[in-house]
A and B are shown apart, each in its own frame.
Chain A
Amino acid sequence: MLIIKKYIPLAIVMIVGLLTLATYYVPAKASQAYLSTLNQWEVIVSGFAFLLGLISLLMTHYKKIVRHEDGWGYSIFVFLGFLAVVIPGIISHGAQADNGTLTSLGWSFRYLYNPLASTMFAVLAFYIVSTAFRSFRIKSAQAFVLFIAAFILILGNVPAGQMLWDTLLGWTGCCSISDIIQWIMQVPSVAAKRGIMIGITIGAVVTSLKIIFGIERQYMGRD
């Protein structure tokens, strides 16, 4: 049983990992075919991984409704929302428009999903600013640099900020706020981003090797 439960899965991870790794360095027709097949397989398997989350969410809210737990009434809206998209989706075969006319799925997307998703993220604007205002204190030179960078980026991206800059500092003829933003994004930001990216890659490479060789196996759960 240990072979089926433990060693075969570990063999799968090693074989699939090493073969996929090899395809990058062996540009043969067979390796390309292998990669495209496995890519298709991965998309299918990952699709089922979504089902895990979906079933878990629906089961949690179903239990809440059945047990009449606190706030169970809201859980009904999870099911209503789910059905409000799935039923139109099945009726319109996943198409949002038919000959230029909005299908029922397109209607659900335009008037339900889109406003919900964008308002959720729009509300975050207030929280980002209010949290920054409450928690951010310029106590050191480093914090001051962070503040200045953020301030310039925000100021320079609104017309009022550009006008203010031009009125106060335009006479110097030095540079516009857009030039400064461009410099921040192309010089110090790139330097920091490169440092972070190189660091992350080293970590990702080590973790990938540990996964392939079965050293890291937390994703397998308990025996």
Chain B
Amino acid sequence: MENSLSVILGGWLSAGITIFLFSFLYKDNPLFKIAEHLYLGVGMGWWFIVLLYGTWIPKAYEPFMQGEYLLIIPVLLGISLVTQFIPRISWVSRYGFTFIMGYGAGLVLPLNLATDFMAQIGGTIKPFAAIASMSAGEFINYFLIAAGAVCVLTYFYFSVEHKGFIKKASNIGIYFLMIYFGASFGNTVMARFSLLYGRFDMLYDFSGARYAFATPVIILLTVCFFVYRHIADKKKAGITKTAKAE
């Protein structure tokens, strides 16, 4: 599959959709909309293939053909979900949904309690068991974590009115939350920018002779398209103005 033609075609396609998507930074336009809709279809197609060859065939069809006839139950429950599209029998979909909800609720309850509740409380308290061998810096850090977690929980505790000591604690909690949100924001921005560098790097690669100069040619064509559209829009606006004046 990886012959030079497929590489050139792939490079052009890849560079084209990347530039079309970036064109939205200038303004909303048909090229962006084409790439956006293409993404919708491609994404759905990709997950369809992943499910087909990762779940339905190896986990349902093949075991069923080998004699695991009980697998007809989840398949029927799954098919029941699709009855949502037939209003008269849409209630059948409840069977599939109740199975998913029941299993999910039963699984989440103990796991969340163990990992996100008990383990977090344990992680906050446990370090103080070694308080004697702790340096001053470590003690301050562990104290800040414990006090911060309590203050944040106080901020989310609405069963009592936030005044006096509770108000002070919840206000400190807000500061911890702000640091966390700020740090998360910074990390998200950096993650997105590293993707951006990756795209620019790819566009640079596709500008070479190996890809028949895909990037510069597509950028040029896109700019020509925008100029043409701008002129056409201006002409259209002029005609409408004249018609209105008449």
Contacts and interface: CB of A to CB of B under 8 A. Distances in A.
Given A16-B99, A219-B101, A189 B112 contact: no
A82 B54 contact: no
Contacts of A212: 102, 105-106, 109
Interface residues of B, number: 121
B102 A20 contact: yes
A115 B183 contact: no
Nearest to A85: B45
Interface string B1-44: 11000100111011001100110110000100111111111111
Contact of B145 (A119, A122, A187): A187
A221 B51 CA distance: 26
B189 A145 contact: no
A113 interface: yes
Interface stretch (B190-198, B215-223, B227-235, B236-244): B190-198
A83 B46 CA distance: 10
A123 B56 contact: no
A121 B179 contact: no
B25 to A, nearest CB: 6
Instruction: Kindly name the residue among B1, B106, B195, B196 whose own CB sees the greatest number of chain A CB atoms within 10 A.
Output: B106
A188 B42 contact: no
Interface string A172-184: 0000000000011
Interface of A: 5, 8-10, 12-21, 24-25, 37-38, 40-59, 71, 74-75, 77-86, 89-90, 93-95, 101-126, 128-129, 132, 141-143, 145-154, 157-158, 183-202, 204-205, 207-209, 211-212, 219-221
25 contacts: A9-B97, A13-B102, A21-B109, A41-B74, A42-B100, A47-B55, A52-B82, A54-B47, A56-B85, A57-B44, A58-B44, A74-B34, A78-B37, A79-B41, A94-B52, A111-B11, A111-B13, A117-B43, A128-B188, A146-B182, A187-B145, A191-B180, A192-B149, A192-B173, A198-B149
Given A17-B102, A107-B2, A192-B179, 6 more contacts: A12-B99, A149-B183, A189-B184, A198-B117, A204-B109, A220-B98
